[in-house]
Amino acid sequence: MIKVLFVCLGNICRSPMAQFVMEQMVEERGLSDQFEIDSAATESYNEMCHAGIHYGTRDILTEMKVPFEEHYSRRIRPHDYAYYDYILAMDDSNIEDIQSIVGIDVENKIHRLLDFANKPRNIKDPWYTGNFDETYWDIVEGCDAFLEYLKM
């Protein structure tokens, strides 16, 4: 079983979008039984507020026919590092924040999602840009590239 944790700042836009896109991709490939996929935040404010998925994320997932369920923000915990095989961040800042929570990445588990793509880069936060379409397509590119990296 390959355990993947997607991480962004608040766990209401990018990381849950990546979680549900990846779940759909592995389902379509008949690989669901080989993966455990979840998402988390680097900050705790949305968890304290019991925040759900941002409406912009809901809208783009609905538009693109990506199945999703209710999800509430949670902060990444130190024990997540031991549990997950891959911790896939959305940007450089997320990586710094993840390492401040879980410690040094001695097992090389922490990567940006788009590090697996032909053009590695950060995934912009649609909370600030308002561009959920761009975020969606970056996440699709990253998830496809990650699955190719895994040769699945």
Does residue 39 contact residue 18 with C-beta atoms inside 8 Å? yes
Q: What is the DSSP string of 10-35?
A: SSSSHHHHHHHHHHHHHHHTT-GGGE
Active-site position among 13, 14, 75, 80: 14
- Residue 13 catalytic? no
3-state secondary structure of 37: strand
Active-site position among 38, 80, 97, 125: 125
- Residue 112 catalytic? no
CA 96 to CA 92: how far, in whole Å?
A: 6
* Amino acid in the structure at residue 57: T
Active-site position among 8, 38, 75, 112: 8
- Residue 125 catalytic? yes
* Residues designated catalytic: 8, 14, 125
